[in-house]
Amino acid sequence: MSQKPQNRVSETSNSTSRKARLEMLKQEAFMLRTQIDFSSSDPTTMMINSDIYRLQDQSDTFSRKIITEKKIIEELRQQHEALTSEIDSKRKQSVEIAAKNKSNSDSFNRKVKSIENKIDKGLQKLNGILAINKGLIEKINKIRKERMIYSNMCKQLESELAKKQEEMKLIVEASNQAIKEREETKKKLGELKQEAEKENEEFESEWRTLEKHIIRDTTSKDFLKEPIQAFEEEEKVNIIECEVEVRATQGKVLIDEQNEKLKQYEEELKMLTEKTNLKSLDEIVKVYLDSEMQNFSLFNHVNELSGEMEQLDLQIAEIRDKIDKHKVPDTENDIERKNMIKEYQLKLEKLALKDEEFSKASERVKKTLNSLVDGVRVLCDRLNIEFEEIDEKNLINLFAEVEKKLDERINDKKLKNIKANTENIKKIDIDTPMIMDRDDEEDVGFEMTTDEIRYKSLRKLNEENEKRFRRK
């Protein structure tokens, strides 16, 4: 590519120098013709014959130079043909390289598809294993939840049982105390009744004796005779009356105390009857005894439950010991399976990394394709190519149509230049070489290859993208 523009620059410089020479020759020929016309009309033509011969010699030399220039032009044409043949061969090579690239891309795509299929199979196996693991994890979680629920229930029952045991203890203690107090009060009441009865009996007996003595004293005739004995008996009676009064006062105090206790007990009984809606003390005692029996039965039931809990704990411990005994260590198959799972996981990680790399590369390729699509649209608009849709699939066809359009335009320009040159040659009598103007060379140029067209289109697209980014 670097040699082609150098050859073109040298050819353009040679063509400019040749144009200048031809113009000089044309001017000299025109001057010679004018001089010949003047010599034919002038009578002194003999004087100028020598100059004519000299000019003819010069015209011969210039004609020889023209011949040499024609040879040079033919050589340049041959070089042009050789260059065109080289361009055609390079185009064929580029087509072959594109076909090879297509084959390589097809093989690469096949490899990628095979790898993707392997990845899909591996992912399917992994998904199956993960599904099994999820099911096992769910079962384990359910069992753990059930175990937690049962453990919480056991703890709640144990706490309730402990509370009930404490309540039972308090109730038993209170009942025992109440029974003891009741028995003590009964004993005290019995003792007081016995003491009161004894005192009454003694009082009655003493009173009877006194009455007897009084009757005897009244009835006795010897009352006057024996004043001393009567006085003694009166003293005895007074002593006995004082003792009776003392004992009576003591009995009254005891009776009052017992009456107060009885009033308290009666008030407590009233409170119990109001609270329990019971009428008599016998009913209260029956209810109390029934509640004691119920508490005793509940206490026995709690003891039975605690015994069952202990038995269940022992059974659980035995079952765990059996499970530990019957546990089998990991076999070679299990170890191989674990190693295979680890290898698959590493492969999946590597494949994920490769997938990320391929995704990034595909994004880059998509960006370049989008830029190419934009450039192709611009070219189609400039070349007036009508196409329904411009996609990645249609790029090759669009490139072919663009090449056809460019070839048609280049051929049209060549034909126009050839016609213009032939017309110029017909007007001029001297056989001058066909040399194109600089503007025509710049417009026509050489035939461009597909690589050159792509290079120019990509360069334009890059320039447009840079302008867009600068505007943004």
Looking at the fold, whether 284 and 408 belong to one and the same domain comes out as no
**3-class secondary structure, 180:** helix
Q: Are residues 394 and 343 in the same domain?
A: yes
Tell me if 433 is assigned to some domain.
Answer: yes
Q: Residue for token digits 């992912």?
A: 123
Residue 436 lies in a domain: yes
pLDDT at residue 209, rounded to an integer: 75
* pLDDT score of 440: 38
- Chain-centroid distance, C-alpha 209: 116
Are residues 312 and 359 both part of a single domain?
no
Please give the Cα distance from 379 to 399 (Å, whole number): 10
Instruction: Assess if residue 182 is contained within a domain.
Output: no
pLDDT at 214: 66
CA distance 8 to 441: 10
Q: What is the pLDDT of residue 461?
A: 66
Predicted pLDDT at 402: 75
Q: Are residues 79 and 2 in the same domain?
A: yes
Q: What is the pLDDT along the chain (472 residues), one digit of tens a residue?
A: 444 444 444 555 566 666 677 777 767 766 766 655 555 444 455 555 566 667 767 777 877 888 888 888 888 888 888 888 888 888 888 778 777 777 777 777 787 788 878 888 878 887 888 888 788 888 888 887 877 887 777 778 788 878 877 877 777 777 677 677 777 777 877 787 787 778 777 777 777 776 676 666 666 545 444 555 555 566 666 666 676 666 666 666 777 776 777 777 677 777 767 776 766 667 767 777 777 777 777 777 777 877 887 888 888 888 878 777 766 555 666 677 778 878 878 888 888 888 888 888 878 877 887 777 777 777 777 777 776 666 666 777 777 777 777 778 777 877 877 776 665 544 444 343 343 333 333 344 445 566 666 667 667 766 776 676 566 5
Let me know whether 461 and 352 are in one domain. yes
Q: Are 368 and 461 a contacting pair, CB within 8 Å? A: no
Domain holding 318, by residue range, is 278-324
Q: At residue 313, what is the residue type?
A: D
How is residue 247 written in tokens? 């004992």
Q: Are residues 76 and 5 in the same domain?
A: yes
pLDDT value at position 438? 37
Q: Are residues 369 and 413 in the same domain?
A: yes
| Statement to judge: residues 342 and 471 lie in one domain | yes
Q: Please indicate, yes or no, if residue 243 is contained in any of the structural domains.
A: no
The rounded distance, in Å, linking the Cα atoms of 67 and 72 is: 9
* Contact between 436 and 421 (Cβ < 8 Å): yes
* One domain, residues 364 and 399: yes
Query: Looking at the domain assignment, is residue 424 inside a domain?
Result: yes
| CA–CA distance, 237 with 233 (Å, rounded to integer) | 6
Q: Considering its fold, how many domains does the chain have in total?
A: 3
Instruction: Say if residue 344 is in the same domain as residue 459.
Output: yes
Predicted local distance difference test score (pLDDT) of residue 34:
63
pLDDT for the residue 392: 64
Same domain assignment for residues 469 and 342: yes
Among 84, 107, 136, where does a domain finish? Answer: 84
In a domain, 406, yes or no: yes
Together in a domain, 461 and 396: yes
pLDDT at 50: 63
Residue 154 belongs to some domain of the structure = no
Final residue belonging to a domain, choices 263, 296, 324: 324
Last residue of a domain, one of 16, 49, 84: 84
Predicted TM-score of the model (pTM): 0.23
Asked if residue 50 belongs to a domain, the reply is yes
CA distances from 285 to 275, 278, 281, 289 (A): 14, 10, 6, 6
CA–chain centroid gap for 8, Å, is 63
Report phi then psi at 446, rounded to 5. Answer: -90, 165
Q: What is the pLDDT, as a whole number, of residue 53?
A: 66
CA–centroid distance for 181 within its chain: 75
Look up residue 129 and give its two tokens. 């294993």
